[in-house]
Amino acid sequence: MGTIKCGFWMCRFLVTDKEFAEFVNFCAGKEFRFHASMLNYPLASPQEVIENYRLAYSRIISKTSYANHGYDCYSLKADWFKGGLGTTSRHYGNYPFFQIDSPKAYSVSDGDGYFHYEDIHQQEPRAKEVFSEVSSIIKKISRPIFENGRPVYSIRISEDAWNDLKESYWYETFGKDNNVTTKWK
């Protein structure tokens, strides 16, 4: 078996549940369907995706405790788009965030148990363009997070989410001690 070496375009973020709803509705308007990343990839309504995010977001910004769990992963699929997009909940070190990603390559078997990777543009020429359009919804309303003046894992945060996070248990127990800031006032 070969070794998988596939890169991804990524947009890591923390936005409010209302801002995330705008993102989901934008995707739904582009005819993307949301499939939960579990057995048989069941279809999820935009409302289910938004509610799931709302619960996960409320756990992150809680004033009494902190928990970064409970958000299902979703694949975004559309009949007009052969590429793939996904949303997931991540945690790097002490930083909670969500992520939109899309593969830059796909694997092709050579028939001998080995495989190689080919540029996703051979399968879906609009892959980067679609990812850029979808992630731009988040990027327009967010700015990078910094720890001691350095960007943190390219995580972006909206102004309202930053205001919520500054009042949270997470910020009180980790953010202040590590000089976590952003360019929002």
pLDDT in tens, the chain (185 residues): 444 456 888 888 999 999 999 999 999 998 888 888 766 777 889 998 888 888 888 888 888 877 655 556 778 887 777 667 777 776 666 778 888 888 888 777 778 888 778 888 888 888 889 889 989 999 999 999 988 888 887 889 999 999 999 999 888 888 887 788 888 65
| 100: β partners | 11, 87
Q: Can you give the pLDDT at residue 69? A: 57
Please report whether residue 185 resides in a domain: no
Residue 184 lies in a domain: no
Compute the distance between CA of residue 18 and CA of residue 158 in angstroms, rounded to an integer: 11
Q: What is the pLDDT of residue 18?
A: 95
2, part of any domain: no
- Cα distances (angstroms) measured from residue 104 to each of 83, 94, 131: 9, 28, 10
Which DSSP symbol is given to 73?
P
**Radius of gyration, alpha carbons of the chain:** 18
- Domain total in the chain: 1
Residue 48 lies in a domain: yes
- Asked if residue 112 belongs to a domain, the reply is yes
Coil, helix or strand at residue 72: coil
Q: Percentages helix, strand, coil for the chain, rounded to the nearest 5?
A: 30, 35, 30
pLDDT of residue 4: 46
Instruction: Say what the pLDDT of residue 3 is.
Output: 47
Domain of 102? 8-176
Report which of 140, 147, 26 is spatially closest to residue 87, judged by C-alpha positions: 26
150 part of a folded domain: yes
182 part of a folded domain:
no
> Does residue 73 sit within a domain?
yes
- Whole-model pTM: value is 0.82
CA distance 139 to 157: 9
